[in-house]
Structure 1
Amino acid sequence: MAGTAVSIAWRRHPRARRISLRLEPRTATVIITLPPKASEASGLAWLHQNAAWVERGLSTLAHSPRLADGETVPLEGAPLVIRAVPDARRGVWREDEILNVSGDVAFLPRRVMDFLRAEARPRLGARLRARAGDMGLTPARLDLRDTRSRWGSCTRDGRIMLSWRLVMAPVEVQDYVIVHELAHLRHFDHSAAFWTLVDRYAPRRHAAERWLKREGATLLRIA
């Protein structure tokens, strides 16, 4: 990473067995997680060994979408063209593939984000109810959050958490994450039985995992 300034954050995890690297998409920070007895020097050595991976990741983050007039933002995988309408007083409204945003353009990014968050609950809620019905499962409730490191989670008491940003992902990707978390209501682990259940109701899970690995960081950077 010669000549490239990299922001680093250190984490020490009591159960970590090896040094790991993760890119935090919103701040373009490399998070280095160390096992209890590992030194920061060994963490830096591992960072330099994986310099090519870090540079590719930072390059991808540098080309994240902007929320501005004429740019696009995805909704369930389909791009919407943002159109500033400063003289209008209608908030944000959609016309086919156009997302109209009224008012001062200085507030356009926030208004687009508010629109997406508002779309997330009914859309993701409907997907959760539909897939739970297919699987014969009953989650206790749905929480939507703006998480950095996971797209979903499930608690032992049946609460499902999803990242609201999944509303920007294609429906089949949403379905995979939802099925994954619902499957934990029956198997609170990642056993063979768990993956058999996931594959039954999300047969395209490998494609969804690849999509999230390829595009997920971009969704996290949209702001």
Structure 2
Amino acid sequence: MTFFRKPRRASALPKEEHFLLTIDGADIRVRLRRDARARRFTLRLPASGGDPVVTLPADGCSRAARNFAERERHWLAARLKRRPDSVAFEEGALVPLRGIEHRIVSGGRHRGTVRREDGDLGPRLVVFGAAEHLSRRLTDWLKREARADIEAAVADHAARLKVTPGRVTLRDTTTRWGSCSSSGALSFSWRLVLAPPEVLDYVAAHEVAHLKEMNHSPRFWRHVETLCPGMEEPRAWLRSNGPRLHAYGAGG
């Protein structure tokens, strides 16, 4: 009796498959990701600065994904040109804190974490400790500052709207600045602390308003307008400048 091995499906992909797409003379690494819920091929350029990603439906194959990316190369080239350059958290770099640029300065190996100062050459963030830990220390400090600002804004808006929010969590999301679950739990991007205070306040008002209306009906927007008069200005700022906030520091 002869046994035949079942042929491998053409659509099967190794876990980390990728390919190179040449754009303007440079080889761009494109990752492939399979999603059983996908109904078509999609190409996405992460705001966080990672590789472009082609998402495949369950019955898609790598060759078709490559062909799809080739057809979308002009779209991808335009997006890559518009994507902000990344800014590492390192000595001398400029990073916004509550909308104001601060220069990162090493405080040496002295004990401490981060201190904000008004220096002769402008505001600065002095990060203490070993140089190899500077990025992590600054990221952790910014997250603590973000939590303090967000929790204060949420408490203020919730009191005005007479609602009780659930747990508040911070994440490093790339597709949304805040969210509200059906249980009343609120989630926000810590990167809002990089934006002007009125932008963070608007996002907090938006999510608290969802505790009254889990939709985007006219009634919902009236709640947001009550909590955040002139909301169109911070909304516009976020649409225009939000992607830039993802260029700072490491994700996480």
| TM-score bin (small chain) | 0.7 to 0.9
Aligned equivalents of 1:164 and 1:204: distance in 2?
Answer: 23
Aligned equivalents of 2:205 and 2:81: distance in 1?
Answer: 31
**Map of 2:237 onto structure 1:** 211
Aligned equivalents of 1:211 and 1:11: distance in 2?
Answer: 34
Aligned equivalents of 2:190 and 2:221: distance in 1?
Answer: 24
Report how far residue 42 of structure 1 moved: 6.9
- 1:103 and 2:125 correspond: no
Residues 11, 207 of structure 1: alpha-carbon distance in 2 compared, 3 angstrom cutoff: farther
* Equivalent of 2:76 in 48, 51, 72: 51
* Equivalent of 2:179 in 138, 141, 153: 153
**Map of 2:95 onto structure 1:** 73
Is the 1:11–1:31 contact (alpha carbons within 8 Å) kept by the matching residues of 2?
Answer: no
Instruction: Find the residue that maps to 1:197 and give its secondary structure.
Output: helix
Q: What is the TM-score normalised by the length of structure 2?
A: 0.74
Residues 141, 200 of structure 1: alpha-carbon distance in 2 compared, 3 angstrom cutoff: same
Is the 2:103–2:125 contact (alpha carbons within 8 Å) kept by the matching residues of 1?
Answer: yes
**Map of 1:178 onto structure 2:** 204
Aligned equivalents of 2:203 and 2:41: distance in 1?
Answer: 27
**Map of 2:14 onto structure 1:** none
Residues 69, 5 of structure 1: alpha-carbon distance in 2 compared, 3 angstrom cutoff: same
Aligned equivalents of 2:232 and 2:34: distance in 1?
Answer: 30
Q: What is the TM-score normalised by the length of structure 1?
A: 0.82
Is the 1:34–1:43 contact (alpha carbons within 8 Å) kept by the matching residues of 2?
Answer: no
Q: Which amino acid aligns with 1:7?
A: R
Deviations 1:92-132 (A, max 9, x none): 22223221122222221111112111212212110111122
Aligned equivalents of 2:44 and 2:216: distance in 1?
Answer: 22
**Map of 1:138 onto structure 2:** 164
Is the 2:41–2:65 contact (alpha carbons within 8 Å) kept by the matching residues of 1?
Answer: no
Q: Which amino acid aligns with 1:23?
A: L
Aligned equivalents of 1:72 and 1:19: distance in 2?
Answer: 38
Is the 1:23–1:57 contact (alpha carbons within 8 Å) kept by the matching residues of 2?
Answer: no
Where do 5+ consecutive residues of structure 1 fail to align?
none
Q: Which amino acid aligns with 2:69?
A: L
**Map of 2:155 onto structure 1:** 129
Residues 41, 71 of structure 1: alpha-carbon distance in 2 compared, 3 angstrom cutoff: closer
Aligned equivalents of 1:144 and 1:78: distance in 2?
Answer: 21
Aligned equivalents of 1:42 and 1:144: distance in 2?
Answer: 38
* Equivalent of 1:82 in 104, 108, 123: 104
Find the structure with the greater CA-based Rg. 2
Deviations 1:2-55 (A, max 9, x none): 323333344547476x76543213343223456778863674255235134322
Report how far residue 139 of structure 1 moved: 0.9
C-alpha RMSD over aligned residues: 2.7
After superposing the two structures, state which structure 1 stretch, 30-39 or 205-214, moved more: 30-39
**Map of 2:13 onto structure 1:** none
Residues 13, 181 of structure 1: alpha-carbon distance in 2 compared, 3 angstrom cutoff: farther
After superposing the two structures, state which structure 1 stretch, 88-97 or 122-131, moved more: 88-97
Instruction: Find the residue that maps to 2:26 and give its secondary structure.
Output: coil
Residues 86, 41 of structure 1: alpha-carbon distance in 2 compared, 3 angstrom cutoff: closer
Aligned equivalents of 1:118 and 1:55: distance in 2?
Answer: 32
